[in-house]
Amino acid sequence: MATKIAVMLEDDLDGGRADETVRFGVGGSEYEIDLSARNVRALRASLEPFVEHARKPGRGPRHRPARPARPARPASARERSSDIRAWAKAEGIAISDRGRIPASVVEQYEDATRSVRG
């Protein structure tokens, strides 16, 4: 003897026979609903004006706030950094050729050159 199992969808709105499961998203949440052909048409008709003006995720222009440009460092600041790096290397202090100079190295440089300057 064979057993036959039939799965019938029930319209989530009116309790009748459903013809289709419709998936949609709103407000970052995904939903699905079982609907009859009549209710599917009604849902799609009500969403049509919004879908016409919508875009698919990941497409279209991005609306990011403009990021202010970083001001260029004046030549005097670059020269000072270069002087500090040269001094540190001459003193045997390990320092990278690029990036921010550690505050402790700047302090040592200022202490050492303050006595020379005056």
pLDDT at 60 over 60: no
pLDDT at 111 over 60: yes
At residue 26, φ and ψ (nearest 5 deg) are -145, 135
At residue 5, φ and ψ (nearest 5 deg) are -110, 125
Look up residue 68 and give its two tokens. Answer: 């202010």
Of the candidate ranges 5-9, 37-41, 65-69, 95-99, the one whose mean pLDDT is the lowest: 65-69
Per-residue pLDDT tens over the stretch 6-42: 888 999 999 999 999 999 998 889 999 999 999 999 9
Confidence of residue 57 (pLDDT cuts 50, 70, 90): confident
Q: For the domain covering 1-56, report its CATH number.
A: 3.30.60.230
| Most confident residue range from 22-31, 39-48, 106-115 | 39-48
| Domain range list for the chain | 1-56, 75-117
> Which pLDDT score, from 0 to 100, does residue 67 have?
74
Architecture field, domain 75-117: Irregular (4.10)
> Which pLDDT score, from 0 to 100, does residue 63 have?
64
Residues 6 or more apart in contact with residue 40 via CB below 8 angstroms: 19, 20, 22
> Which pLDDT score, from 0 to 100, does residue 77 have?
84
pLDDT at 68 over 70: yes
